[in-house]
Amino acid sequence: MQIAIASGKGGTGKTSLAVSLFLANADRSRLLDCDVEEPNCHLFLKTRFVSRSSVERRIPLLNPDLCKHCGKCVEACQFNALAEAGKAGILVFEELCHSCGGCSLVCPTGALQETPLKMGAITRALVAEKAELITGALAIGHTETPTLIRAVKKKQPDPEVEFTLIDAPPGTACAFATAVEHADFVLLVAEETPFGLHDLKLTLKALQKKGLPFAVILNRMRPGFSSVQEFCKEKNYPLWLQIPESRDIAGTYARGGTLLDAMPELQESLRLLLDKCAEELLCNRRN
């Protein structure tokens, strides 16, 4: 079962929850860090490095000696990754290229040949000698976040793994959509602030358009503030867990600790949380 942990904005405690869920269920889960522009799950875990592999995409490489400046490649590119620049010849904009290979196919002289370009890396590590952490890291200067996220998600789990936890990028852009794609359930982490409520609403709209089941986790709950709670009650949205705002928790995070280090009593609740996701999935399939 794939469970994405997402949030409408950064700083809500999404990664903290993902890491603690993973630790509380280390005997039956693995964690994919799909926040590939700034992966940080490994900072809170004691890991043993296993392997690292490069992720490449193919871009056109121009041989100017063969180019006849016919412009067919420019016409064929739907993403404006190629341009005719007079005496400068054909220009290739790597950041716009979607690696479709169309320009190479239409070139009558073979002046454009696809060549591999490293765009990121995927690292596999183990926690407690068995639980798997897969981390995607986008190379500096590259913007192909969805492509790398898909590569991370393609890594097949051990047959004994019951839950795949996906730490999704914050927000509602393409990276978020790619991370939650094909997820069986989404846990949305929100904070009790005006910005937190606003971005929660945006994320919920995105999930509802995709038809994905979800539940809300309220982090840094403060006495006297109840906008997220009232919103969930009004809309009849499931609010499964509420984590209080705590100086002890903040101090533990600052020292590199986890939510479970600060509140070990949450261990059972975090195990039950995944069981509840599985139950909801089963109910949805029956209905």
Cβ(170)–Cβ(140) under 8 Å? Answer: no
> Of all residues in the chain, what percent carry a pLDDT higher than 70?
100
Distance CA 232, CA 50 (A): 42
Q: How confident is the model at residue 72 (pLDDT cuts 50, 70, 90)?
A: very high
Any idea what the Cα angle at residue 195 is, between residues 191 and 197, rounded to 5°? 60
Residue 144 has pLDDT above 90, yes or no: no
Residue 202 has pLDDT above 90, yes or no: yes
Distance CA 188, CA 170 (A): 10
Residue 87 pLDDT: 80
- Mean pLDDT to the nearest integer, 282-286: 81
- Mean pLDDT to the nearest integer, 64-82: 93
- Mean pLDDT to the nearest integer, 54-60: 93
- Mean pLDDT to the nearest integer, 36-60: 94
Distance CA 210, CA 204 (A): 10
Q: How confident is the model at residue 89 (pLDDT cuts 50, 70, 90)?
A: confident
Residue 84 has pLDDT above 80, yes or no: yes
Residues 24-42 pLDDT 10s: 999 999 999 999 999 999 9
Cβ(259)–Cβ(243) under 8 Å? Answer: yes
Q: How confident is the model at residue 226 (pLDDT cuts 50, 70, 90)?
A: confident
Residue 223 pLDDT: 81
3-state secondary structure string across the chain: CEEEEECCCCCCCHHHHHHHHHHHCCCCEEEEECCCCCCCHHHHCCEEEEEEEEEEEEEEEECCCCCCCCCHHHHHCCCCCEEECHHHCEEECHHHCCCCCHHHHHCCCCCEEEEEEEEEEEEEEEECCCEEEEEEEECCCCCCHHHHHHHHHCCCCCCCCCEEEEECCCCCCHHHHHHHCCCCEEEEEEECCHHHHHHHHHHHHHHHHHCCCEEEEEEEECCCCCHHHHHHHHHCCCEEEEEECCHHHHHHHHCCCCHHHHCHHHHHHHHHHHHHHHHHHHHHHHC
Residues 99-121 pLDDT 10s: 999 999 999 999 999 999 999 99
**Mean pLDDT, the chain, integer:** 93
Domains of the chain and any CATH numbers:
2-46+128-286 (3.40.50.300), 57-118 (3.30.70.20)
Q: How confident is the model at residue 3 (pLDDT cuts 50, 70, 90)?
A: very high
Residue 224 has pLDDT above 80, yes or no: no
Q: What is the pTM of this model?
A: 0.90
